[in-house]
Structures are given as structure tokens and as C-alpha cells.
Structure 1
Amino acid sequence: MSKLLFSHEDEMRKALQAFESPLNSVMQTGKLNVDPLGLNLTGPTIDFLAGSRGLSELASGLGSARSLAVEMASKGFAHRSILDQVAGGGIFSPLATGGVTAAAMGLPSLDIYGLAQRSAMGFMDQFRIPEIEEVSRLLRGVVNPIERQYGLGGAELTRSLSAMNQPWLNVHDTLASVTGIAKLHGIGHLIASEPPFAANLAKVLRADFGDWRDPITWPSGLGSDLGVRAGFYVDRGFNPLLTEFPDSAFEEGLESSGLQEDVPVLVAAYGEPVPRSANDEEEQSFARNNAVHDWLQRFETQIRQFIDVAMTAAFGNDWPRHRLPNGLYEEWTSKKAKDATGLSWPLISYADFTDYERIICKQDNWKAIFAHHFKRPELVRESLQRIYPSRLAAMHARPLMPEDELFVFVEIKRLVRLMLTITFR
């Protein structure tokens, strides 16, 4: 992670929270809770309230602090909308009358934001695109380990990295950059070439993503608090070298590694994807969320059909009544009874994400159906648990981190690839 940005995270978060109070007052009362003379806000303060591009650019940093910047930018969009409504479409007019300072309103100094932005831009300046002939030299120390671990040959890796157009090489730590980008491509190669739940594949991913096999007690705020989620991933054993790049380079790395290819097919009987926003600015800010949300939506339709077809083939159409974990059938039927859409969805359409692992790994279901395909229940649990925090955030329109995107693409590709090869009769 960018140490400069990360070191300022607590201060930035406190500043962000301080802004919430007056803006919440706007939402509740339609008025700014300040002196009648009006506000004498500084340019940077107005910039924040308006959802400035400058704060969006903080997302060019790394790790938790980069994701915090995305959170600030997203709040900026909401705050601008609020103020537009209060001002009747003119955001600056009610703020230009002077009188009360931002300090009197209890707003924090914005120096921390400027410092963080300068740190982010300084971080970006550390990266460059290596010359084509330079790539082979840079890879000399990592080619053999990458080939042994992931099966990706040096010639193919060299071609992929030479074709990248975004700055990915950190001039101050070339080994870390080369190792991280090579591992990212190695994971893509391994996912495409190995059986999805092969023991070797699971072991290699565990070295890079951490061990997620045991049941996890999820921390509070996992879906909404980026700092909690970033810390949780590191605690699980995630290797930060995989994402220590500017966003543009990371996204290009995902694409060139093959991890963004083959979006899961959609099974229409289990629900359609949510339409994209018509707000171009919001679309740009949440491009990662849109991609991840699309993959998750399609994946859930696929895994629901997979479970439904497998269980129906083995136990008949009424399998939910007899083969679900205790209490789950009643939960599903209660949700269906409250469904106001008027549409007739299969009962499994009312499953929660955490229900899939419970059904597959339920001992009698596992022995009768799923053991042959997934080999070990902890491997299924590990894969689905890696997706869960990202799913929690994406489905509630929370900002996502590169780590979230990586987990979603890798684990969904593994699961869908396996599910599409299985035929139940």
C-alpha cells in the first residue's frame, strides 16, 4: 500500500465524518444549519461539497486509502445533489454571501486532503512503461519462480508485459512491480489451464489470497467500511503486491491476464441484471462497481440454477422442503410470500448468498451430489467466502477496491467453469 496515503487514512476519515453532520442537517431539514448571514466557505471546501475531480483523483493511490478516496468522491456526488436541491439548481449562490466561516460551522481543515492528493500524484509519478527490450531483463529474476508456481512460460509472460500500455513499473521498487504483475498474469494462466478445484490451484491461490477455508466470523462494517475490509484482507493473508499499481495499470493487468474475460452467462429465469445508471459522472466513478456487480449478478443466477438442477435431479422438484438446512425452507417461503413483483420465481431465487455454501456443504447433500465435483467442502467454502465481502459491498452500492475485483474475477471464473462442465440427470 502507499505508505503516505495509508498514514493519513484516520485523519481523512475523521474529516469526512465531520462533514457528515452539517450535510445530514441539510438532508433532514432542507436548510444549512448555519448563521443566517450565510457561509464563507473556502474554495477547497466547496470543491469537496461539490464532489470535486481532485478528490476522485485520490483514487489513483493504493489500498485502503485509495478506496477511502473513492468513498469521499461518492459522498461528494450525493452532497452535490443535496446542495443542488437546496439551492434550486445553483450550488454556489447560497454559499457566496459570506459571514460565517467554515471553522465556525465546525468543518475541519482541508489541508489533509491536499496533502493526500499530492501524495497520490507523487505515487503516480513513480511509475513508467518499460521499454520492450527492458522487459526481458526485468523478468530474469522472476521467470523461473513464476513458471514453477503458475505454469506460465517466460516467453508468454514477456509478450504480455511488453504489450501493456499503462505505466506499471515502479522505478523505486522494480522487483516488487515485476513480481506483482507477473503473479497477476500467472494467476490468470493457472485459472485458465488447471481444473478449477485442483489441489494445486487452491494451494497457489491460498499463497496469494490467504487462507479462507475455515468458517469466518465476519467483522462489523465489512461491506460499508473500506478500512475494515482492507485490513480484513491483509489479516487473511492477501499479498498486496498484486494490487500495488495505479488503477489504470491494474485494470489493464486484469485484462491482459485473461481474468476479465468470459463473463458468466446469464440464466434469465433467475433474474436480470440491474440496469446501469444514467448519470455519466457516477458511472465513471463506479466503473469497478458496475463490472463487479454484473459478474456477481450473473454468477448468482448461474449457481442458483446449478444447485436447483442438481438437487432436482437427485431428489425431485420438492427438494427444498426436505434437503435444506434447518430453518432455510421457512425463510425462503416467507420471502416468496412477501414478493410484490407478481412474478413466479423458483424458490431458490429467494436464497441469500451465504445459503449456497450451506446447501452444497450440508453433509447429506455433499455425499450424494457435490463431493465428486468439488473434492473437499472447505474448498467450496473458501471460494465463496472470498467473494462474500465484495458481494456485500457491491450489492449495497458501496465503493470497491482492486482486491475486491480480483477476488470476484478469480473465484467466479473457477466456480462457473466447473459448473458449466457438469451435467445432472
Structure 2
Amino acid sequence: MRCPVCGAPFRHQVSDVVCRECGSFIGDPPKLNASFAGLPTMPKTPSVLDGISPSLLDSMRKAGSLAAGLPTMPKTPSVLDGISPSLLDSMRKAGSLAAGLQTAYSGAALFGDYGRSADLTRSVWAMAELSAIGHALHTTPPFDPTFTEMLRADLGDWRKVKALPKRIFEDPIARLTFYEDRGLNTALTDFSAVTFNEALVVTGIRSQIEPEDEIAESDGSASPSVDDILVAPATNVTAYGYLFAFERQIRLLIAIELEALDGPEWFKKRVHPEMLRRWEEKKATDQKHGVPDHPLIEYADFTDYLPIIEQKNNWREAFERIFVHKPSLQESFRRLYPLRLSAMHARTLIQADQMYVYVEVHRLLTAMRKVERV
């Protein structure tokens, strides 16, 4: 099927409520799947929004009303500055569609489950900005400098981050404060957990990444333990999947690209001696304990990947054609460092962590998928 506005093809899944190409709402996707199985069932009403919870419908209805009035509003600085007319049109359509539905819930509060913020306008702007980010993720080259600048306005400026305070790995509040100091727009995550996850799916930020597909292509080594997953909160389990998918693929990419240049012992020329020494020590320890043999790249830490990729000769000869813009890539990795270390050590993740995971892993995997042999 195709989008009735721009003609772009789409697949039947939750994210197809929004066209990836023009941002318009498109028709008749299936009901939300088991991810939201616990939500109360709505009465059957034919609609492109069928199955979405009343709180989100309420927010979309408000977004439509607000968007309809935008042309007559005085010009003021806003998170909507620069958003395409197609997105505003989508907001209007969402409002019209949502307004026509009958909700089965009486006596609902003004916001229902929509926002924790008492400021309706702030919540609506945040929903619109999430839509803009989701649209750009599917229509813009992942490390395009303009897109990077757009994300910087919402996710913070990480260009000068060189060291991370230890307390942010233990204390979620300290981590959020650290993000705010970088410039994170906290309005984007100031929702209840259910509504936040729903919004990420509907706006296309979350649902396009399918980490299980990436894992299936890897050799399956170094996966999180069952015990780790069983005791982790649901948000951590999701982060495990996204981060694990990325980590498997970035190791594979590094090994394939550099081995193509220097053969099986590429690490002797392409990895810093101190980093290589650490890998060799960890491998030697494993061998003493009877652990099956693994390639040296399997002993790389998460913080090793960026230094290898951005090393001058490696960047010039292997990775520039994949990631294109080094400063954008550097910022992407830096946003993942705090939450990766928190997730893998059973620390509770916050909603800002989830935002960083979905956006940045999406960008990285999108760039890497362009390489046919990965």
C-alpha cells in the first residue's frame, strides 16, 4: 500500500501510522501489538488510530487544535520552528481523526495519562518535536551535519564531553542532571512511562529498529546473561537488545573493514598498542579458564570503538565513506556511553536514556546497513 499524500510505499506495522517520507498520517494499520496488550480495549471504530490509548488520542486531538491555529499565532521562538508543513498538516489530521472517535472512558482528566507536565502547550510541542525527530530519522542521512544540529537542540551538545562523572552511573537523578547540563530538552521525556513509549512508537522513533534481526546475523557470542535479563527492569531489557545489536554489528564492521586493508592481523597496525595489550590480556585470562577461543575484537570495550574508527588512517581508508561526518559520529557515541555503562551493570535506566538509545542506535545501524558485506 502507499501513502495517500505522497505515494510512498509502507508496511503494515504500528509505525506506519505516520508516513516515513512526508510525515502524514496514513491508513488502517493493525492494532497495537503485544507491547501494549495490557491497555484497556477500545470499542471498534474504523480509524487510522484504531487501538491507540485514549490518552494519546486526547493529546493528538489537542495537537490538531493547536496546529490549526498556528497560522494565526504571533511568531514566537518555538521547538516547532523549521518543522515542515507536512508535519503540521499531519498534526491537523490527527486532531480531526481523534476528535471523531468515541472514547470508552468517562470522567477522564484533561490529560488522562498523556503528560506529567501541567503545561498543555509544552506537552503538545514535545509531541510535535518527537514527530519531527522520527520523520527525520527515516528521511535524512544519519550523520548529515544539519540533522546533527537539529538533534543537538533536543538531545544536547556533546561535542566537548571528554570525561563522565562516576556518580551518573549510580544515580539516575545525577545522570538526568548531567543530560540537562548538556542541553537535553526534558519536555520530550516528561510523560508517564506508558505514554512515553506509545509516543515513541507512533512517531516512528522506536519501532523501525529490530535488534533481533541484527543479533541473528551475528555469531551470538558475548550476549547478556539470562540472569542479567531476568532481574533487569523492562527498560533495561529493551536497552540490552538495542545496544547488543549495535555492539555485535560495530565489532563485525571494524573487523571486516580493517582486515580487508591489512589482513588477519590488522589489529597490529590499526589498533593503539595500549588498547591491543588490554585485549590480549583479557583473552589470555579467558584461555587460562578454558573459555573457547574468540577473535581479539571480541575483547574490545564499548569505549574502544570510536577511537579505532576515528584514528586518522582508519577513518580515511575505511570509515569515512560509511559515517561521512566525524563530529556527528563522535557525538552519537558520546550520548551512548553513560546509558550503555548503566544498562550493562544493572542500573535503572531513565526515559532520557531510552531516547538516546533509540535515536543514536538507529542512526548508527542505518549508516552501517549501507555496507553490503555487513
* TM-score, length of structure 2 as denominator length: 0.71
Aligned residues: 296
Q: Give the whole-Å Cα distance in 2 for the aligned partners of 1:364 and 1:226.
A: 38
Distance of aligned partners of 1:270 and 1:315 in 2 relative to their CA distance in 1, 3 Å threshold? farther
Q: Which residue of 2 aligns with 1:287?
A: 234
2:219 corresponds to which letter in structure 1? A
Does the Cα contact within 8 Å between 2:228 and 2:346 map onto a contact in 1? no
Shift of 1:190: 0.7
2:298 aligned with 1:298: no
Identify the structure with the greater helix proportion: 1
Shift of 1:194: 0.5
Q: Give the whole-Å Cα distance in 1 for the aligned partners of 2:335 and 2:59.
A: 36
Distance of aligned partners of 1:172 and 1:220 in 2 relative to their CA distance in 1, 3 Å threshold? closer
Shift of 1:128: 8.2
Cα offsets for 1:239-261 (capped at 9, x unmatched): 01101111111111111122222
Instruction: Determine which of 346, 349, 373 is the counterpart of 2:322.
Output: 373
Shift of 1:313: 1.2
Unmatched 5+ stretches in structure 1: 1-126
1:359 corresponds to which letter in structure 2? I
Q: Which residue of 2 aligns with 1:389?
A: 338
Shift of 1:334: 0.9
Does the Cα contact within 8 Å between 1:270 and 1:346 map onto a contact in 2? no
Cα offsets for 1:273-314 (capped at 9, x unmatched): 32555998x56xx11111011111111001111111111112
Cα offsets for 1:17-75 (capped at 9, x unmatched): xxxxxxxxxxxxxxxxxxxxxxxxxxxxxxxxxxxxxxxxxxxxxxxxxxxxxxxxxxx
Q: Give the whole-Å Cα distance in 1 for the aligned partners of 2:85 and 2:336.
A: 25
Q: Give the whole-Å Cα distance in 2 for the aligned partners of 1:315 and 1:418.
A: 23
Q: Which residue of 2 aligns with 1:312?
A: 259
Asked which structure has the greater CA Rg, the reply is 1
Shift of 1:268: 2.9
Instruction: Determine which of 136, 145, 162 is the counterpart of 2:64.
Output: 136
Distance of aligned partners of 1:309 and 1:270 in 2 relative to their CA distance in 1, 3 Å threshold? farther
Shift of 1:230: 1.0
Unmatched 5+ stretches in structure 2: 1-54, 72-77, 104-111
Q: Give the whole-Å Cα distance in 2 for the aligned partners of 1:258 and 1:174.
A: 22
Instruction: Determine which of 156, 159, 162 is the counterpart of 1:210.
Output: 156
2:157 corresponds to which letter in structure 1? D
2:146 aligned with 1:200: yes
Q: Give the whole-Å Cα distance in 2 for the aligned partners of 1:131 and 1:273.
A: 39
Q: Which residue of 2 aligns with 1:356?
A: 305
1:398 corresponds to which letter in structure 2? R
Cα offsets for 1:88-126 (capped at 9, x unmatched): xxxxxxxxxxxxxxxxxxxxxxxxxxxxxxxxxxxxxxx
1:191 corresponds to which letter in structure 2? L
Instruction: Determine which of 322, 347, 350 is the counterpart of 2:296.
Output: 347
Q: Which residue of 2 aligns with 1:32?
A: none
- Show the 5 A alignment for 1:85-104: none
Does the Cα contact within 8 Å between 2:87 and 2:131 map onto a contact in 1? no
- Show the 5 A alignment for 1:116-131: 130=58
2:171 aligned with 1:221: no
SS of aligned partner of 1:223: helix
Shift of 1:359: 0.2
Does the Cα contact within 8 Å between 2:135 and 2:204 map onto a contact in 1? yes
Distance of aligned partners of 1:132 and 1:197 in 2 relative to their CA distance in 1, 3 Å threshold? closer
Select between 219-228 and 131-140 the one with higher mean Cα deviation.
Answer: 131-140
Distance of aligned partners of 1:169 and 1:214 in 2 relative to their CA distance in 1, 3 Å threshold? closer
2:189 aligned with 1:189: no
Q: Percent of aligned pairs with the same residue?
A: 31
Q: Which residue of 1 aligns with 2:88?
A: 154
Distance of aligned partners of 1:129 and 1:230 in 2 relative to their CA distance in 1, 3 Å threshold? same
2:178 corresponds to which letter in structure 1? F
Distance of aligned partners of 1:347 and 1:186 in 2 relative to their CA distance in 1, 3 Å threshold? same
1:231 corresponds to which letter in structure 2? T
- Show the 5 A alignment for 1:219-298: 219-261=165-207, 262-264=209-211, 265-266=214-215, 267-269=217-219, 271=221, 273-276=223-226, 286-298=233-245
